Amino acid sequence: MHQLLNRKYLISFFYIIVCVIGIAVWRVLPIESTPELNLPSVTVNYNWGSTSPEIMEMEITREVEREANRLRDVTDIRSITQEGRSSVTITFRKDAPVDYRVLELREYLFTLDENLPESISPPSISRQVPEELEDQQTFIVYTLNGDMAPRELLEYTRTNIRPKLLSIEGLAEVAIRGVQDPALMIEFDIDQVERFNLSPRQILMQVREQLSWRSAGFVEEGISRYSLIIPPKFKSIADIAGLKIELPGSRKQLVLDDFAEISVQDYPAKTIKRINGDPALTIEFVKESGADAFTLAENVLTAMDEVEALLPEELSLMLTVDSTEELRQQFDDLQLQAIFSGILVFFVVILFIRKLRAPFVIMGSVAFSVLLSLIVLYLMGYSLNIITLAGITVALGMLIDNAVVVFEHLNPGLPKEKSDRISHITKEIGNSVVPVLGSTFTTVGIFVPLLFALDELRIFLVPLAVALTVTLVCSVLIAFTWIPYSLVWLTPKISEQKKTSRVSKWVNRWLMKSFLLKSKLRWVLPVILIGAIGIPLFAIEEPDWDAEEGTVWPEFTQVYFDNRDAIDGWIGGLSKKFSEETYFGSPWSRNNQQTVSVYIRSPQGTPLSEIDKIVQNYEKIVDPYAHAFTYYEANISEYFGARILFVVDPDFVFRSEPYQFYAEAQYLGARTGNFATSVQGLNIPGISTGFGGGSSNHSIRLQGYSYDELLNLAKDLERRLKTSRRVREVDINSSYYSRRDDFQQYILRLDEERILANDLNRREVISTLMLDLNPENTVGRVEFGGQEMYLIGRSERDKAFEEDMMNRTRQFGEVNFNISRIGEVVQEGGLNEIRRTNQSYERTVSVDYLGNYRMGREFIESVVETTPVPVGAKIEFGRGFFGFGSDDSSRNFIFVALLSLLSVWMIVSALLESVKYPIFVIMAVPFSLIGIMLGGLANDMAFDRGAIAGSLLCIGVVVNNAILIYHQKQLENGNGIFGLRCWVHVYRKRIRAILITTVTTITGLIPMMIFGNNQFWENLAIVVIWGLSISTILLLIMTGLRVRGDGWKVKN
């Protein structure tokens, strides 16, 4: 250190380089809302019209899982199958090359697609991101709507908008959603098709062949080889209509136009999106990983402004999502708040130290630490986003703490001459090593156990830990070089000032009296502290006293559990109130816009056109009030119904028009029958009709590897449970994961003997029904009219009713028949969704029992015990699906927390060379928790990511303060000073450093709390201000309770 401080120019140039490069990096460091965080898992999605979950699971999900099992490094496969949708999630080992595994999976699925029906849409494969960041993954989204058919809207976007945007640097994809490719529709006359014994599918395949590019071999010329390709034969609808069709068993021919109509139409939609009553599609911009969000957003917005200027009059373009708007506002606010914070911290340091050099030295250390950390993060390939920025923010309090600790060790007694200063600093700097390294290592030690956390937690917190660790390590380097350098070379000569002994005696007397008072109250203060925190017995799950295997709790504790509601109110303290009144997690986004929302849930099987009629009624009544709304958006789906959002123009919030419409919408909702309708908004109670009642009393969970065996087991349970008159209802198709419980499916059961007796063929019988039952009989995509479209065949009848289908006379060759003679249609309930985990099915049986809960539980347990269970299956009852410590996430969280605590204890023990003092240091953590809980309750805030980051900062600072106190106590004990005199010396030498760290941290966050508009930073500031204030006061009060005067009297 002595030689380093003599090299003035070396240190000067180092900090000049840090300043220049740090500012340059700040200008080029990519800024984005969230980093590119992908879990080691992928999800494969298939869609297939309105196919029932059982068929989807049998034909698609099982096949995808079979192909997924061929991949290497797979640890888990989970699937969810719903009506027309299949989703398979494949989880790999954390160090597996997921991108290569995805390539292998694509090859397997390409082979699989050849054996799947043509009407199944191509699969989509997506990487999973943490749930906390899902809502922040969308970059920029525009909506295009207007008086134009959906297929025309899609074609205009593809040809006139998308090509102009793909050249923007940093843009990974421009996705067009909301409208599917058009369809080349062939509507058959069923009577004519059956009369001539034609096969619609064979006709569709002939049309497809004539619309395809076909290979005709190759020719060779010299050393060159040229492939021969025959272009599509049909170029117009007239060409298709003139296709000649041979009649089976005859030389006669018909043309397709004789028994079918050909047209280009919109694809038979399952969903519809409209804005302001016009068809709409969305244009979603996907950002490349690492691209600067601000620059890219400006380029995209500029390009879209140019596109909007060239739009036809009937089209309108609207920006619906811009994730950089909030991010830009956050950075602007943080820059302004940083200026105010810097000014406040400057005056606080001046107030405490009363030397002008102090704020420049301390704030310079903080500034250089941040600049150096930005350089390191840039070299490591990290961007500046909400996670890394949170890591740097959490470290700010510890940056100030490190700078203050080093300054307070070196500044007192600083000599006049530079050579004497170097000797003084070389001698004193060793005393600051332990507290500075202790604060750094303990904070880093908290995050080391994250390496053992679950992927969902680790992938989110590791970037935060990296940013925090880099910043703290940089602060250690800066604190041990910048502060000595500035005190030696940048501080002018100072005149010695004698301290008045009167103030010193008064401080000694006040400290001794306070310690003697604390010594008298040494048994009272801990009891008050424990009473304030509370004894968290309420977190213990009530044991099952009647279980055969017994319980670990002694019998006398049953008195508590029987009366815990009354007891917990007295002993729960602050922790019980905090757990009951605080929402943990990010609440629903607070939208400053006033809206009216309408949700319509339709019965299963309701045609999209019928749902659309109801939506059009709302669009009709809003027409007189359209000027009072910025826009209104309708999303209609056969799967759930419809959602309509009306966004009120801010200028009309205090006018009558939106409220008049709200009243009319409620009236319309109340008069709409057969549909569940909810109308809410404008901060006024709304209406909700037709949503029904609550859930069953008891649930039994079944697991097994055979779907049919599990279904039979559920039916057996249902039969056994219904032997009791108290069982009102048993639902073997219940689900905890889906709200819809009215799923029904129709099954056509054909009698094979009757089919043979009528000289019929099963395959041909089903083929005659194909056009009646499925409006999406597609044979894939074809190229027609310069664009890709689906080729679909269907009946000319718009709807097929069961009675018509069963009783209509059909012709197969020379045989006339109807379906009712050879089969029947049966309606059955079914699972709304089928879940599998590693090929094991899950099924839930819900039981409504008319009686108290214990009686119902005992009856169900007796039934479960006597029910035979197939091999490989199991029944779970009596344990909730959710509970603290009952799942992998909770157990892993507890493990990581205990490991962090052990890591901190070991680090402090190694630094202080003591086993006793680290225990007192860790006991400072509850002090900060009291302040954190008080702050959360006083401000009625949600305990979200901002509050968690603030808690880490608060706990880190209070632990650092405790290390500072007990390290100084060690030094005093080493000098032979013990008891009351020791504690007086400790407080006199370290209380100023503690107060400077606390007050500067709090002062720096006050502008963030007062002027902050972002919930993350506002909650962080509130938690730190409350937690640090209370914890510092409690630390100074609760430290040194047991002291002895050792003959030192107060008067001395």
What is the per-residue pLDDT across 275-311, written as a single tens digit (0 to 9) for each? 888 888 889 888 876 677 888 888 999 999 999 999 9
Supply the pLDDT for residue 695.
43
970 close to 983: Cβ distance less than 8 angstroms = no
* Span of 78-87, 638-647, 810-819, 959-968 with lowest mean pLDDT: 810-819
In this prediction, residue 545 has a pLDDT band, given cuts at 50, 70 and 90, of: low
Grade residue 883 by pLDDT with cuts at 50, 70 and 90.
very low
CA-to-CA distance for 697 and 726, rounded, in angstroms?
12
| C-alpha torsion angle, residues 823, 826, 832, 835 (rounded to 10) | -50
pLDDT of residue 24: 93
pLDDT in tens, 760-769: 777 777 766 7
Q: Please give the pLDDT value at position 1046.
A: 46
The tokens for 823 are 């089969």
Cβ contact 303:168 at 8 Å: yes
Distance CA 471, CA 366 (A): 10
Mean pLDDT for 511-522 is 82
Q: Are 85 and 47 in contact (CB under 8 A)?
A: yes
H-helix or E-strand containing 637? strand 629-637
pLDDT digits (tens, 9 = 90+) for 433-460: 888 888 788 877 777 766 666 665 666 6
For residue 802, pLDDT beyond 80 = no
Q: What percent of the chain has pLDDT over 70?
A: 88
CA angle 542, 543, 549 (to 5 degrees): 170
Q: What is the pTM of this model?
A: 0.68
Q: Please give the Cα distance from 696 to 115 (Å, whole number).
A: 42
Nearest to 271 by CA among 186, 187, 177, 169: 177
Task: Tell me the domains of the chain and their CATH numbers.
Answer: 1-30+355-494 (1.20.1640.10), 38-128 (3.30.70.1430), 136-217+241-332+762-823 (3.30.70.1320), 501-539+563-591+914-1052 (1.20.1640.10), 595-689 (3.30.70.1230), 694-743+830-882 (3.30.70.1440)
- What's the confidence (pLDDT) of residue 586? 55
pLDDT for position 104: 92
* Sign of the four-CA dihedral 46, 47, 53, 58: negative
Question: Best-predicted range by mean pLDDT among 388-402, 696-710, 1036-1050?
Answer: 696-710
Residue from 440, 442, 390, 439 nearest 900 by CA:
442
Structure confidence by residue, pLDDT tens digits, 86-127: 999 999 987 888 889 989 999 999 888 878 877 787 888 887
Dihedral sign for Cα atoms in the order 958, 960, 964, 965: positive
Between CA 814 and CA 806 the distance in angstroms is: 19
Confidence band of 882 (pLDDT split at 50, 70, 90): very low
746 vs 987, residue with greater confidence: 987
pLDDT in tens, 885-939: 345 555 666 677 777 778 888 888 888 888 888 888 888 888 888 999 999 888 8
Residue 593's pLDDT is 62
Q: Is 218 exposed, middle or buried (0-12, 13-18, 19+ CB in 10 A)?
A: exposed
Per residue in 192-223, pLDDT tens?
A: 887 787 888 888 888 988 888 888 888 888 88
Q: What is the pLDDT of residue 453?
A: 63
Q: How is residue 551 written in tokens?
A: 């319980």
Hey, what amino acid is at 422?
I
Q: Is the pLDDT of residue 884 over 50?
A: no
* C-alpha distance from residue 398 to each of 280, 447, 1000 (Å): 52, 15, 11
Are the C-beta atoms of 849 and 856 separated by less than 8 Å? yes
At 577-597, the pLDDT tens digits run 888 888 776 544 444 568 999
- Give the type of residue at 575: S
> What is the spatial distance between Cα 841 and Cα 829, in angstroms, rounded to a whole number?
18
Contact in structure between 32 and 723 (CB atoms under 8 Å): no
Q: What is the structure's pLDDT at 799?
A: 60
SS (H, E, C) 451-501: HHCCHHHHHHHHHHHHHHHHHHHHHHHHHHHHHHHHHHHCCCCCCCCCCCH
Work out whether the CA dihedral 479, 481, 482, 487 comes out positive or negative.
Answer: positive
pLDDT per residue over 1018-1036, tens digit each? 888 899 899 999 999 999 8
- The whole-number pLDDT of residue 956 equals 79
Average pLDDT over residues 693-713: 80
Which range is least confidently modeled, 547-556, 670-679, 759-768?
547-556
- pLDDT score for 947: 83
Q: Alpha-carbon torsion 831, 832, 837, 842, what sign?
A: negative
Q: Whose CA is closest to 485, among 993, 22, 12?
A: 12
- What is the torsional sign of CA 359, 361, 366, 368? positive
Q: What is the pLDDT of residues 725-739, one digit of tens each?
A: 888 888 888 765 555
Which of the 8 DSSP states describes residue 626? G
The whole-number pLDDT of residue 373 equals 93
User: Three-state SS for 872?
Assistant: coil
Q: Which of 40-44, 643-647, 941-945, 995-999 has the lowest mean pLDDT?
A: 941-945
Query: Tens digit of pLDDT for each residue in 561-574?
Result: 788 878 887 888 88
> Looking at residue 890, what is its pLDDT?
58
Provide the pairing of β-strand 823-829 with 124-127.
unpaired
Q: In this model, does residue 1052 exceed pLDDT 50?
A: no
- Arithmetic mean of pLDDT over the chain: 82
Output b/e per residue, 148-164; b: 16+ Cβ within 10 A: bebbebbbbbeeebeee
Helix (H, G, I), strand (E, B) or coil at 710: helix
How much is the average pLDDT of 653-679?
91
3-state SS assignment for residue 447: helix
Cα(740)–Cα(847) distance, integer angstroms:
17
How far is residue 687 from each of residues 594, 596, 613, 961, measured CA to CA in Å? 17, 12, 20, 55
pLDDT at 879: 47
Above 90 in pLDDT, residue 71? yes
Query: What residue spans of 490-584 are helical by DSSP H?
Result: 501-520, 524-533, 558-562, 564-571, 573-581
Q: What angle do CA 293, 296, 300 make, to 5 degrees?
A: 130
Mean pLDDT of 944-965: 82
- Per-residue pLDDT for 153 more than 80? yes
> Higher model confidence: residue 335 or residue 406?
406
Q: Which residue has the tokens 């509601």?
A: 565
Rg of the Cα trace of the chain? 37
Q: Which carries the bigger pLDDT value, residue 9 or residue 795?
A: 9
